[in-house]
Amino acid sequence: MAPERKFFVGGNWKMNGNKKEIDGIIAFLTTGPLDPNTDLVCGVPSCYLEYCRQKLPATIGVAAQNCYKVLKGAFTGEISPAMIKDVGVEWVILGHSERRNVFGESDALIAEKVSHALSEGLNVIPCIGEKLEERESGKTEEVVFSQLKAIVEKIPLDKWENVVIAYEPVWAIGTGKTASPQQAQEVHGKLRQWLSENVNAEVAQKVRIIYGGSVTAENCRELAKEADIDGSLVGGASLKPDFIHIVNANQ
């Protein structure tokens, strides 16, 4: 990781937790100790956003795991960035592979969501990543560049400081398979090069690109050593006390 980019760890709880379990997570996060030179954000189920924001230390960010592309309206089951902000939450995860592949969200829809969330003042973690068959057929770059292009076209230049990109190879999420540090670095490096060529060199150098896909306390430090890996987006492992080791992987 380059010194000008602050290490970033996101804990995506997905559809997990109840108040009792969340209290346990809050307890081990509050006890820490957490690296003060790392930004930590927890992605929380929507019904617990306000509860977590009130209970977690102010130094730990809270993220919604999804939101819609407009301010309000007849969109049953959706929440808006304005609602997220209204309960004191400052982040949202958008375009996670489960949103893309389980719920059928398109690149275009995700880009619209990113655009609206940024315009409403949220910080955004947009996610990109290829499926196993896409990697095996040599289409990794084609897929992730296409996903990134849709998002980038909707990000104003003055909003890039509010964006953290997550690269999550779909074949490594929750499977126990992890891209090797070298595989992950190769894609991260190419993403940064693409940003330099298609946005500008300053954005490419400053934006944080984090890795997701079966990150554990055992492999997090090797990933963190790579030049273009600026942290991690962690799923199931963020529910367990060992998550502290992942947060502190850059120490």
Residue positions counted in the chain:
251
Mean per-residue pLDDT pooled into runs of 10, the chain (251 residues) = 87 98 98 97 98 98 98 98 98 97 97 98 98 93 97 97 96 82 96 98 97 92 96 96 97 92
Active site residue 96: yes
Element at 52 (helix H, strand E): helix 49-55
- CA 167 – CA 56 distance, rounded (Å): 26
Ranges of each domain in the chain: 40-49+59-248
Q: Which of 96, 98, 116, 130 is catalytic?
A: 96
- CA 196 – CA 192 distance, rounded (Å): 6
Give pLDDT, residue 204. Answer: 97
Element at 11 (helix H, strand E): strand 7-12
Q: Evaluate if pTM is beyond 0.85.
A: yes
- CA 166 – CA 232 distance, rounded (Å): 8
* DSSP β-bridge partners for residue 11: 42, 234
* DSSP β-bridge partners for residue 124: 92, 163
Give pLDDT, residue 1. Answer: 67
Q: Which of 98, 105, 134, 168 is catalytic?
A: 168
- CA 92 – CA 81 distance, rounded (Å): 8
21-79 pLDDT per residue, tens: 999 999 999 999 999 999 999 999 999 999 999 999 999 999 999 999 999 999 999 99
With vertex at residue 220, the alpha carbon angle to CA 11 and CA 174, rounded to the nearest 5 degrees, is 55
What type of residue sits at position 96?
H
Active site residue 168: yes
> Which CATH architecture best describes the domain 40-49+59-248?
Alpha-Beta Barrel (3.20)
